[in-house]
């Protein structure tokens, strides 16, 4: 069986010459990845068509390990807030606080000091938000690591504020290390149920999937369903892709296990996967998507590299693989970044701290990252939502480090090929680009890398053909 011992050792040895210059040693929220943080200055590259600048607009300067992020209006004031949960590890220097947090929105962004802290100061590796008790207010569900029976907690929104103490705590028959969760109406009875991915700790490292039923106002304290197979699982998503009305489950699994699909035809998922991918790599994160807007869902798994699969006739067929400089995503996402009506792909990576966006061009994702932010911290989480009330959804990236959250405000889409600025794309813009390219004017550096080459010409042509918004 393969392990990551060699990979981890290689990473540490490669960093050893520089490690003496830095005392930062980071461990991922599931304990499977390690990195030496060399505290290099962050850098960014803004690609054509991506509305985010190469530098963040807001940063939270708190030394925390972010396990998960959600953008939602918790307090009902019309401004979106950021829910940020924190995990615990043996990173060095140690982190002295792991309380979960809410950063409240103020209409122009977020307050940079948390306005809510949980009473619990424990390992939280994921967060989900949804109405558990049927009062039309968002509640917070937290997924906890460390071997425990209380791997799930819920905080209920009273309308007068979010309680700092959980109103629900699970009590599973077997100890679990919860890694992720998804809220979905699995039995189609009108309320949100919870399914979690889990792992154990050596020498007993494998655990089943668990499902907790919603009784109308809260979740069952014990699981009502579990998978027959056990593994190290690292993320899941729920969507009906078989057409029977019941959400199916896409589940990512770690090394030596195959990520796959658990179908649900009765309100209770099948206990074994219906199908699985052929690779058994280090997958983390599973999502359904519809890249070509044809109403047929694809399935994505974050990994080395991240892949998107068509699923038809009971089998997976790979249709896409990303090609970042270094692969090891902690979280993946799909969102219409550029507002053209299709889903773009987002990753955030642990070991190199990079967040990548891959634009979707008429059903085909860019293989190389279109936009990158390279942080000095290790990357852990991501989320989208409008934080400054301009009608455009912003990007939030989470980290383990002295800067734990960065916010990128979506900018009004420019018309990059309109080099004359007259609002029309014509011969004069082409002529302006040729002259700028020949003189190495920065306006012709379309990929923003400081050199002038074929990729800038290609970028201009693509922008010209795309037209102005």
Amino acid 11: pLDDT: 40
The answer to whether position 6 is within a domain reads no
Residue-wise pLDDT for 368-389, tens only, equals: 999 999 999 999 999 999 999 9
The answer to whether position 53 is within a domain reads no
Same domain, 376 and 459: no
Q: Which tokens is 381 given?
A: 């989480």
Amino acid 35: pLDDT: 84
Query: What's the number of domains the chain is made of?
Result: 2
Same domain, 349 and 458: no
- Bridge partners of 180, per DSSP, are 197
Same domain, 356 and 437: no
Same domain, 175 and 91: yes
Same domain, 147 and 196: yes
pTM: 0.85
Same domain, 100 and 168: yes
Amino acid 313: pLDDT: 80
Q: Which tokens is 291 given?
A: 């890249």
The answer to whether position 112 is within a domain reads yes
Same domain, 97 and 215: yes
Residue-wise pLDDT for 388-397, tens only, equals: 999 999 999 9
Amino acid 259: pLDDT: 98
Same domain, 456 and 370: no
Same domain, 123 and 177: yes
Same domain, 314 and 395: yes
Residues of the chain with pLDDT under 50: 1-22
What's the CA gap between 28 and 442, in Å, rounded? Answer: 39
The answer to whether position 253 is within a domain reads yes
Same domain, 440 and 322: no
The CA-to-CA distance between both ends of the chain, in Å, stands at 52
Amino acid 67: pLDDT: 98
Amino acid 17: pLDDT: 41
Amino acid 70: pLDDT: 99
The answer to whether position 213 is within a domain reads yes
The answer to whether position 418 is within a domain reads no
Report how far apart, in Å, the C-alpha atoms of 241 and of each of 25, 245, 253, 284, 316 are: 42, 9, 20, 21, 13
Same domain, 131 and 166: yes
The answer to whether position 38 is within a domain reads no
Range of the domain at 67: 59-408
CATH number of the domain enclosing 399:
2.130.10.10
The answer to whether position 24 is within a domain reads no
């Amino acid at each position: 069986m393969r392990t990551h011992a060699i990979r981890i050792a290689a990473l540490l040895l490669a960093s050893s010459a520089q490690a003496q210059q830095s005392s930062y040693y980071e461990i991922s929220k599931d304990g499977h990845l390690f990195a030496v943080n060399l505290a290099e200055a962050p850098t960014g590259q803004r690609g054509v068509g991506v509305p985010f600048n190469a530098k963040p607009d807001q940063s939270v300067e708190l030394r925390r390990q972010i396990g998960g992020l959600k953008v939602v209006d918790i307090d009902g004031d019309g401004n979106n807030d950021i829910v940020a949960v924190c995990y615990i590890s043996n990173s060095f220097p140690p982190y002295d606080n792991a309380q979960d947090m809410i950063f409240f929105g103020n209409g122009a962004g977020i307050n940079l000091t948390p306005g809510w802290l949980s009473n619990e100061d424990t390992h939280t590796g994921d967060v989900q938000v949804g109405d558990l008790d049927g009062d039309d207010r968002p509640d917070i569900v937290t997924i906890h690591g460390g071997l425990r029976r209380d791997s799930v907690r819920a905080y209920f929104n009273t309308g007068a504020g979010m309680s700092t103490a959980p109103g629900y705590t699970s009590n599973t028959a077997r100890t679990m290390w919860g890694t992720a969760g998804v809220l979905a109406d699995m039995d189609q009875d009108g309320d949100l149920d919870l399914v979690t991915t889990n792992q154990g700790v050596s020498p007993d490292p494998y655990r089943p999937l668990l499902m907790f039923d919603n009784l109308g106002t809260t979740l069952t304290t014990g699981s009502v369903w579990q998978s027959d197979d056990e593994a190290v699982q690292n993320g899941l998503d729920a969507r009906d892709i078989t057409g029977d009305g019941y959400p199916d489950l896409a589940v990512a699994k770690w090394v030596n296990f195959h990520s796959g699909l658990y179908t649900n035809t009765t309100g209770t998922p099948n206990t074994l996967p219906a199908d699985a991918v052929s690779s058994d790599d280090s997958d983390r994160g599973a999502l359904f998507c519809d890249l070509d807007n044809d109403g047929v869902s694809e399935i994505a798994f974050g990994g080395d590299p991240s892949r998107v699969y068509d699923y038809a006739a009971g089998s997976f067929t790979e249709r896409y693989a990303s090609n970042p400089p270094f692969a090891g995503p902690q979280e993946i996402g799909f969102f219409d970044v550029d507002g053209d009506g299709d889903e773009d792909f987002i990753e955030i990576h642990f070991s190199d701290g990079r967040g990548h966006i891959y634009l979707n061009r008429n059903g085909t994702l860019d293989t190389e990252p279109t936009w990158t932010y390279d942080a000095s911290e290790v990357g852990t989480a991501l989320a989208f939502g409008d934080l400054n009330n301009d009608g455009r959804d912003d990007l939030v990236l989470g980290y383990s480090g002295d800067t734990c959250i960065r916010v990128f405000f979506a900018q009004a889409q420019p018309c990059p090929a309109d080099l004359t600025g007259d609002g029309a794309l014509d011969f004069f813009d082409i002529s302006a680009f040729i002259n700028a390219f020949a003189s190495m004017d920065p306006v012709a550096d379309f990929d923003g890398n400081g050199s002038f080459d074929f990729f800038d010409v290609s970028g201009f042509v693509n922008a010209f053909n795309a037209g102005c918004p």
